[in-house]
Amino acid sequence: MPPRLPLVSLGRQSHSRISRASILFSPPFLIQAYQAFVPQHTAGFASTSRSLAKGRSKKMPPKKKNAEDTKIRLGRPGNNLKIGIVGLPNVGKSSFFNTLSQTDLGKAANFPYATIDPEEARIPVPDPRFDWLCELYKPVSKVPAFLTCIDIAGLTAGASTGAGLGNAFLSHVRAVDGIFQVVRAFDDAEVIHVEGDVDPLRDMQIISTELRLKDIEWVEKALEGLRKNSKNLGSVSLADKARKEEITTVEKILKCLTEDNKDVRKGTWTNKEVEVINGLTLLTAKPITYLVNLSERDFVRKKNKWLPKIKGWIDEHNPGDALIPFSVALEERLVSMTEEEKLEEAEKLGLPKGNPSALGKITTAGYTSLDLIRYFTSGPDEVRAWTIRKGTKAPAAAGVIHSDFENKFVCGEIMAYDDLKEFGTEAQVKAAGKLRQQGKPYEVQDGDICYWKSGA
Ligand SMILES: Nc1nc2c(ncn2[C@@H]2O[C@H](COP(=O)(O)OP(=O)(O)OP(=O)(O)O)[C@@H](O)[C@H]2O)c(=O)[nH]1
Ligand SMILES: [Mg+2]
């Protein structure tokens, strides 16, 4: 009997066991104002090349790969991932993008389709662990983790067949790895709604339908091409067998989108099937975080008539997807305030102590939705967060700093953030036997503090 392939659930692993959408309302994260961006492959290299171990890498016999252990993730491989801001026209996407990036790059204006060309910005991802490390080392340079966000044009009903900015818009969505879907739930007669009135459920249905229709068209085309080339397939050659399997998988994807009426990321797939899906770069395979744009008043009182219905819609259609209420109007006011003024504002509004902005929480949710984690390199020169995908092995994680670290990887000296916090200094962590030497098979954990050793 052939070995059974593991079933891989697409989308966020952390949500795979949660069947209900969660409203992430409080407490908001403190957002960092770090704007510094030190180019990769420079500073981190210096801080981790204290001593290079020469010729110490003894060749181990290659281990047997166990395919069942390695779950293949949906989407593009790699760490350099992007999240796109998607939604109907005039719902506040560019205004949100501007507050998030603290720029005026996004074309925010009170008419539909103000945005045409996508704009991109790198947003620092808040992390109290990073702040603590900076306090400890007081480094010359501080580089937090970043999330790349893209402001995309508005999508309208019929976009999949070319209405509005139709296909241009959808190609921009295809180019990102995850989606922030802005849903308008604020009333303002001054702000035109392309559908005539405010109805977030209808709007969510429109976006969902358009993304699915485009995927169906894409998958049908792929299937047609595969079937055309499969007329002379035999049953003996491995290549022919693989081709047949691919056709069966594409048929299953089409069934998921049509008969099962599901986004592709909500299906259950084997690793082989995920490989086929990834080759198709489908829109509904990308993780979605729903961002509900409320009036400032509704955000402050944590009440809006649409919110429970929106949650119900997500539970029914895309269970497990995150839902974050926020207010672009409030964020626009907060963006020009100092940290102190923000704290005062929170008190004035009756919000929980701390930064009243939801942007930190949103950035973190986007980062997590892409299965991104970070490890740190730290010292008096620099404290820096390095973004990797969950499940990345030590050599590849080191390679994010410099390809030499991966190619000539010897080992990593690694301590957990919690251990450093508990023991206070690197020396004490070491004395407690908590500084670990890790080899190539080690899977880097979120919050690890790493020091890589590479050979000549
Ligand atoms: N009252 C109110 N107006 C808002 C809010 N968010 C955005 N707006 C206004 O809505 C209008 C459209 O905002 P944009 O940010 O350009 O919307 P968009 O979704 O990027 O629009 P397109 O690029 O055309 O798809 C602007 O006049 C904003 O000032 C909000 O929370 N409350
Ligand atoms: Mg816009």
Mutate to test the pocket of ligand 1, among 91, 119, 181 (most ligand atoms within 8 A of CB): 91
Establish whether residue 94 lines the binding site of ligand 1, counting it when its CB lies within 6 angstroms of any ligand atom.
Answer: yes
Which phi-psi region, left, alpha or beta, contains residue 447 (left: φ > 0; alpha: ψ -120 to 50)?
Answer: left
Q: Per the structure block, which two tokens stand in for 171?
A: 């190609």
Establish whether residue 109 lines the binding site of ligand 1, counting it when its CB lies within 6 angstroms of any ligand atom.
Answer: yes
- Residue of the CA atom closest to atom 13 of ligand 1: 92
- Binding-site residues for ATP, in ranges, read 90-95, 294
401-426: per-residue pLDDT in tens?
999 999 999 999 999 999 999 999 99
Q: Domain spans of the chain?
A: 17-30+82-115+152-219+278-369
- Residue of the CA atom closest to atom 9 of ligand 1: 92
What average pLDDT score do residues 47-73 get?
A: 50
436, 413 contact by CB (below 8 A): yes
User: Which ligand places an atom closest to the C-alpha of 191?
Assistant: 1
- Binding-site residues, in ranges, read 90-95, 294
Decide: helix, strand or coil at residue 50.
coil
User: Which ligand places an atom closest to the C-alpha of 111?
Assistant: 1
Nearest atom within ligand 1 for CA of residue 328: 31
Reported confidence tier of residue 370, pLDDT bands at 50, 70, 90:
very high
Asked which of 227-231, 232-236, 249-253 is least confident by mean pLDDT, the reply is: 232-236
User: Which ligand places an atom closest to the C-alpha of 98?
Assistant: 1
239 pLDDT higher than 90: no
Task: Give the Å distance between the CA of 406 and the centre of ligand 1.
Answer: 45
- Residue of the CA atom closest to atom 11 of ligand 1: 110
Task: Give the Å distance between the CA of 97 and the centre of ligand 2.
Answer: 9
- Answer with the residue of higher pLDDT: 307 or 352: 307
> pLDDT at position 157, please?
83
> pLDDT at position 71, please?
77
pTM score above 0.75: yes
275-298: per-residue pLDDT in tens?
999 999 999 999 999 999 999 999
189-226: per-residue pLDDT in tens?
788 788 878 899 999 999 999 999 999 999 999 999 99
Asked which of 13-17, 175-179, 325-329 is least confident by mean pLDDT, the reply is: 13-17
> pLDDT at position 352, please?
83
Decide: helix, strand or coil at residue 79.
coil
46 pLDDT higher than 60: no
What average pLDDT score do residues 294-317 get?
A: 95
> pLDDT at position 234, please?
67
| CB burial of residue 289 (10 Å; 0-12, 13-18, 19+) | buried
236 pLDDT higher than 80: no
- Answer with the residue of higher pLDDT: 111 or 274: 274
126-163: per-residue pLDDT in tens?
999 999 999 999 999 999 999 999 999 888 888 777 66
Task: Give the Å distance between the CA of 188 and the centre of ligand 1.
Answer: 10
User: Does the domain formed by 17-30+82-115+152-219+278-369 have CATH 3.50.50.60?
Assistant: no
In 53-170, the DSSP E strands lie at: 82-86, 119-125, 141-143, 145-151
Establish whether residue 108 lines the binding site of ligand 1, counting it when its CB lies within 6 angstroms of any ligand atom.
Answer: yes
Reported confidence tier of residue 60, pLDDT bands at 50, 70, 90:
low
> pLDDT at position 235, please?
67
DSSP 273-327: HHHHHHHHT-GGGS-EEEEEE--HHHHHHT--TTHHHHHHHHHHHSTT-EEEEE-
Centre a 10 Å sphere on the Cβ of residue 185 and count the other Cβ atoms it contains: 23
> From edge to edge, which strands make up the β-sheet containing 178-184?
119-125, 145-151, 82-86, 178-184, 288-293, 322-326
Establish whether residue 304 lines the binding site of ligand 1, counting it when its CB lies within 6 angstroms of any ligand atom.
Answer: no
Cα-only R_g, the chain:
24
